[in-house]
């Protein structure tokens, strides 16, 4: 029962969430069954499920700042990409025989730049996954919140910062592979990255991290800290009048959200097999906001559902009707905003209320 309570205040909802997470934790291992087995999960599906869970983790991170603190970010794709690049540096060093990635050889570089030093070590790369998005988020958030930038102006600045970073990473001399980014990964800790066991392990680890982050954020939001964030969203001026230093509450939530997005990016890269500046495309960050809005802001579980459903639909439409996807995405956002302001979770709650009456 304690596990159920960690997942939801409502017993029935908690059981449903527990079952869903149990399935997600079990699915990757079906990939290890014989190919002729009825329950065998193909490499395509285990990779797709793993990638979608990474994107759901970003939605969870965005819900922390938008759903609870009322801070709409249109630049979380930056933190996602930074985490991906941080771990991608380790993967590239592992793939290079002498530690110098192929794209650096092409540029006639004889040694790696200073910021690549130590990236051949797995543990240091994990530190960078947390440190890089966290530091960037802290610097940006401190000056933005101290300047009392709010609302649409804040959202525009986050999108502009993401676009500027994408332009920077597109340049070959920056040292991040330019337009092609990082690809051609071979091993993690000496193990073949394309092996069935590694694919299953990466997918399982992603599901486990998603579960732990969900439980951790839910626990945090039920504490006074979470209630203060909600009060900031509803009336920051009143909270400041009561003596709360709202800057530090917003900044801590912003940094934590960026770190979670960075972890999602690090998990995404070995499963996708590539990371390039297109991940910083402002459109990607807008999509993330759509996932949260569609699922239901300020619910934590809603963004997971929204990210899963929308990316499942996107997988089909981008292959069958690639030109129509952006139109579909825009239409979906308008429909959700007008008819489902509380998202899918709000629709479920309304349905339950009508049944009880």
Mean pLDDT across the stretch 56-72? 96
Q: Does the pLDDT at position 2 exceed 70? A: no
Q: Report d(CA 177, CA 185) in Å as an integer.
A: 13
Q: Does the pLDDT at position 56 exceed 90? A: yes
Of 71 and 107, more confident:
71
| pLDDT bucket at 168, cuts 50 / 70 / 90 | very high
| pLDDT bucket at 111, cuts 50 / 70 / 90 | confident
Minimum mean pLDDT among 46-55, 85-94, 108-117: which range? 108-117
Are 236 and 50 in contact by the 8 Å Cβ rule? The answer is no
Average pLDDT, the chain: 91
Instruction: Write out the two tokens for 165.
Output: 């970073």
| pLDDT bucket at 141, cuts 50 / 70 / 90 | very high
Mean pLDDT across the stretch 218-242? 91
Q: Report d(CA 129, CA 16) in Å as an integer.
A: 32
Domain count within the chain: 1
Element (H, E) at 192: strand 191-192
Q: Which residues, including other chains, have CB under 8 Å from residue 112's CB and lie 6 or more apart?
A: 93, 99, 100, 101, 104, 119, 175
In 189-243, which residue ranges form alpha helices assigned H by DSSP? 196-221, 224-241
Are 206 and 272 in contact by the 8 Å Cβ rule? The answer is no
Give the domain extent around 205: 2-356
Max CA distance (Å), the chain:
73
Q: What is the pTM of this model?
A: 0.94
Percentage of residues of the chain with pLDDT beyond 70: 96
Q: Does the pLDDT at position 43 exceed 80? A: yes
**Looking at residue 321, what is its pLDDT?**
82
Q: Does the pLDDT at position 317 exceed 90? A: no
In this structure, what are the phi and psi dihedrals at residue 223, rounded to the nearest 5 degrees? -90, 170
**Looking at residue 1, what is its pLDDT?**
60
**Looking at residue 357, what is its pLDDT?**
60
**Looking at residue 130, what is its pLDDT?**
97
| pLDDT bucket at 354, cuts 50 / 70 / 90 | low
pLDDT digits (tens, 9 = 90+) for 235-256: 888 988 888 889 999 999 999 9
Q: Does the pLDDT at position 319 exceed 80? A: yes
- Which one, of 63, 36, 35, 78, lies nearest residue 284 by Cα? 78
Element (H, E) at 191: strand 191-192
Q: How many CB atoms lie within 10 A of CB 343?
A: 24
Of 267 and 329, more confident:
267
**Looking at residue 7, what is its pLDDT?**
73
Are 213 and 60 in contact by the 8 Å Cβ rule? The answer is yes
**Looking at residue 105, what is its pLDDT?**
86
**Looking at residue 13, what is its pLDDT?**
79
Q: How many CB atoms lie within 10 A of CB 281?
A: 15
Mean pLDDT across the stretch 226-234? 93
| pLDDT bucket at 330, cuts 50 / 70 / 90 | confident
| pLDDT bucket at 210, cuts 50 / 70 / 90 | very high
| pLDDT bucket at 325, cuts 50 / 70 / 90 | confident
């Amino acid at each position: 029962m304690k596990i159920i309570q960690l997942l939801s205040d409502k017993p029935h909802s908690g059981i449903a969430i527990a079952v869903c997470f149990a399935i997600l934790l079990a699915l990757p291992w079906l990939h290890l069954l014989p190919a002729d087995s009825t329950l065998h999960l193909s490499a395509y599906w285990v990779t797709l499920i793993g990638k979608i869970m990474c994107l759901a983790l970003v939605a969870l991170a965005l819900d922390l700042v938008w759903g609870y603190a009322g801070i709409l970010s249109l630049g979380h794709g930056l933190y996602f990409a930074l985490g991906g690049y941080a771990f991608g540096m380790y993967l590239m060093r592992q793939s290079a025989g002498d530690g110098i990635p192929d794209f650096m050889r092409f540029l006639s570089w004889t040694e790696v730049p200073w910021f690549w030093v130590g990236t051949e070590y797995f543990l240091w790369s994990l530190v960078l996954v947390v440190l890089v998005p966290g530091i960037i988020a802290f610097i940006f958030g401190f000056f933005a919140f101290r300047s009392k930038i709010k609302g649409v102006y804040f959202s525009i600045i986050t999108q502009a910062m993401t676009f500027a970073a994408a332009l920077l990473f597109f340049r070959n001399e920056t040292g991040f592979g330019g337009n092609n980014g990082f690809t051609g990964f071979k091993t993690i800790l000496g193990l073949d990255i394309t092996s069935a066991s590694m694919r299953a392990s990466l997918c399982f680890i992603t599901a486990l991290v998603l579960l732990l982050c969900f439980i951790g954020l839910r626990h945090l939001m039920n504490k006074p800290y979470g209630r203060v964030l909600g009060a900031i969203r509803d009336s920051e001026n009143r909270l400041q009048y009561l003596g709360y230093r709202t800057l530090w509450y917003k900044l801590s939530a912003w940094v934590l959200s960026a770190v979670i997005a960075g972890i999602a990016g690090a998990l995404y890269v070995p499963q996708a097999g590539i990371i390039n500046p297109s991940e910083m495309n402002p459109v990607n960050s807008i999509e993330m906001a759509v996932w949260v809005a569609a699922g239901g802001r300020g619910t934590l579980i809603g963004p997971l559902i929204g990210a899963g459903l929308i990316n499942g639909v996107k997988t089909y439409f981008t292959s069958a009707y690639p030109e129509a996807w952006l139109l579909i995405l825009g239409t979906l956002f308008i429909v959700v905003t007008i008819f489902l302001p509380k998202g899918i979770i709000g629709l479920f709650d309304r349905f339950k209320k009508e049944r009880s009456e």
